[in-house]
Copies of this chain bind each other. A is one copy, B any other.
Amino acid sequence: MDGNHGKRVAIVGATGAVGREMVKVLHARRFPAREVALFASERSAGKTVATPYGDKPLLPFTLEAMRGMDFVLMAVSGDFAKAHAPAIAAQGAIVIDNSSAFRLDPAVPLVVPEINAAAAHGHRLIANPNCTTAILLIALYPLYRKFGLRRVIVSTYQAASGAGAPGMQELEDGVRAWAAGEPVVNREFKYPLPFNLIPHIDPFQDNGYTREEMKVVWESRKIMDAPDLPISCTSVRIPIFRVHAESVTVETVEKITPDAARAVLGAAPGVKLVDDPAQFRYPMPLTATARDEVEVGRIRQSLVFGEYGLDFFVCGDQLLKGAALNAVQIAETVLAREPVSA
């Protein structure tokens, strides 16, 4: 792909749910890497993991080890990212950070490549958005561009994977315990998740919304460059492994119809239109799991905003478009704009 026979890529936080997907996505998309190095916490470092690139050692993270890397994909906590990402970028790597640490920093671009790829250019530190936001915007942005938006109302159905590998494991363990007639234990989630739902993700803010809900508001505005767009979100954890679903109602500036929306969404990058009720086709975790595209369906004229409104439903893989895939797409975007080296 370039004169250096590929890039050196580091994944920091390689043992987490998102980190593991990052390795798979790099390989599946044939990212031009001559080296993919995996970094993990001290607890995991020294072990070996199976990857599509073969068995790989887990290396201990040091700033020194990041030197010479072309891309550093970070799937770590906000605190860790805040402490290390700027220094890694200062050494020359392109850092793509999946935490919320830099997303709202005006100096750091927050990128969904289908929407604002250009924002990434010239930056060494780039933020990957919140999972719910990235999945939402794949459907919302094409409608925003074509019809304008006056109001957006979102209710989410979020998977356990949003709490990482431990969240997914807790759901699995909980359901197995229930089936065995044993008590269901919760640590990652505030309450047991099996056969329950929890309308609380991330800490509560002074306005009564959770930070997860406000991330959708703040990040959507930044990514779409719609700083005043009224958006409201209710975020709910449900007992599902790795797909976030979202019920969305929009009020538009221009008149809109379901057919016009389908025409726009059917041509939009990253969207899979799954909207044929007569054939029982609509977005579902069952079909959206482990898929790159965000399923969009149940498109209908809004009963509250009439000709200026639409209801629809989306499902996207939280670990892919919601995290790892978007991060790798950002790296691809940066690569595509790079001057060809000799």
**A→B interface (CB under 8 Å):** 151-153, 155, 157, 175-176, 178-180, 190-192, 195-200, 204, 207-209, 217, 230-232, 234, 236, 238-241, 245, 247, 249, 258, 277-278, 280, 282-286, 297-305, 311, 313
Contacts and interface: CB of A to CB of B under 8 A. Distances in A.
A179 B179 CA distance: 7
A301 B209 CA distance: 9
A190 B304 contact: no
A324 to B, nearest CB: 20
Contacts of A204: 277-278
Contacts of A190: 280
Question: How many copies of this chain are found per oligomer?
Answer: 2
A313 B217 CA distance: 19
Contact of A304 (B232, B277, B282, B297): B232
A299 B208 contact: yes
A208 B276 CA distance: 10
The 8 closest A-B pairs by CB, nearest first: A208-B300, A155-B155, A155-B247, A179-B179, A232-B303, A204-B277, A230-B304, A234-B247
Given A199-B283, A284-B198, A157 B303 contact: no
Nearest to A242: B195
Contacts of A278: 204
Contacts of A247: 155, 199, 234, 236, 247
A232 B311 contact: yes
Contacts of A217: 303
Contact of A191 (B236, B245, B286, B313): B286
A340 to B, nearest CB: 46
Nearest to A245: B197
B240 A195 contact: yes
Contacts of A245: 197, 199, 236
